[in-house]
Structure 1
Amino acid sequence: MEISIRKVEVSDFNQINALFREFAEFENLSERMTNTVEQMMEEKEHFNCFVAETADGEIAGYVTYFFAYYTWVGKSLYMDDLYVRPDFRGQGIGSLLIHKIIAYAKATGCHRLRWQVSEWNQPAIGFYKKLGANISGVEQNCDLSFSF
C-alpha cells in the first residue's frame, strides 16, 4: 500500500476530527472528546499534525504535536497523539508517523521528544520500547479544563 506522510491541511479537518473521535473511543474516553471542526478552524494556528494518506486520499492515521520547553533539557517536541485506524494497523504506518515526528524534532533543534502511553496499551508500549523510548511511569497527568 502506498502511503505518504504530509502536513495537515484545513481541508482535512473533517476527516481528522472524525479520527479524533475514533481515537477517543479506542481509549474508552469518548466523553472527554469535545473538540469540533469549528473549534479547530478557530484555533488552527495552534494545531500541528502530520497525516498518513493513502493514494486515494484517505487518511489512515495521524500524529499531533506541539513545541514545549522543559526546564531540565530545553526546547522539546511533545507528541500529543499518534493514531492509526484499525484497518491500517500492522502495515508500518505507525512507524512512518513516529519516524516523521522524530526527524521533525531533530530538524527543528529539539532536545527531547515526549509523549504518553496508556499503561493498558501493551502493543504501543512494546512498539515504543523497540524505538528505545524510556517509559518511566513516574509522572501522572494533571489537567485543569476550562469551558468558555
Structure 2
Amino acid sequence: MIRELAEYTQRTDQVKTTQRDLEQDGFCRNPFFHGIISEVPQEHQSKEGYTIVAYSLYYFSYKAFTGRAVFMNQLYVMPEFRGNGIGKALMTKVAQMGLAAGCKELNFTVLDWNSRLGTFT
C-alpha cells in the first residue's frame, strides 16, 4: 500500500524504504514509527483479494512551545474502500493514541492538490 500511495501522490520515485527498513524501524524495542491498519472481513476483500485495506503511520514528537505531539505521517485507504469512514476511523485512532500518550497536538499535512480529504472534526 505504500507503493499505491506513492502512485496516487505521483511520487513513486521517492520510495526508498524497503520491507526490511519497515521491520527494523517499526517493530523494534524503541520504534521510530507506529502503524495502524484497517482490515475488512474476508467476504469484503479487495478486488485483488486483500483484507487489509488501509493504514496510517505516525510517530511522537516534542514541540518546545506546546510539549508532546503526535504526527500522522501517512494515511492511505485503497480507492475502492474510500468514502466508508475508514480514513476518519484511522485518524481518530491516532488521535486517541496521542491523547493516551499525553499529546496536546495531532499534526497531519495534506498535499494541496488532495482536496478529497476534506476536513476532519
Q: Under TM normalisation by the shorter chain, which class is it?
A: 0.7 to 0.9
Structure 2 residue runs of 5 or longer lacking an equivalent are: 43-49
In structure 2, the partner of 1:24 is 6
**What is the root-mean-square deviation of aligned Cα atoms in Å?**
1.3
Quote the residue 1:116 is aligned against.
109
Question: In the alignment, is residue 35 of structure 1 matched against residue 35 of structure 2?
Answer: no
TM-score when scaled to structure 2? 0.85
- Identity over aligned pairs, percent: 31
TM-score (norm 1): 0.70
CA shift for structure 1 position 41: 2.1
Partner of 1:55: 41
Which residue number in structure 2 is paired with residue 103 of structure 1?
Answer: 96
- Aligned residue pairs, count: 110
**Deviation per residue, 1:82-125 (Å, 9 max, x gap):** 1101010011111111111111111111010101000111111x
| Matching residue of 2:62 | 69
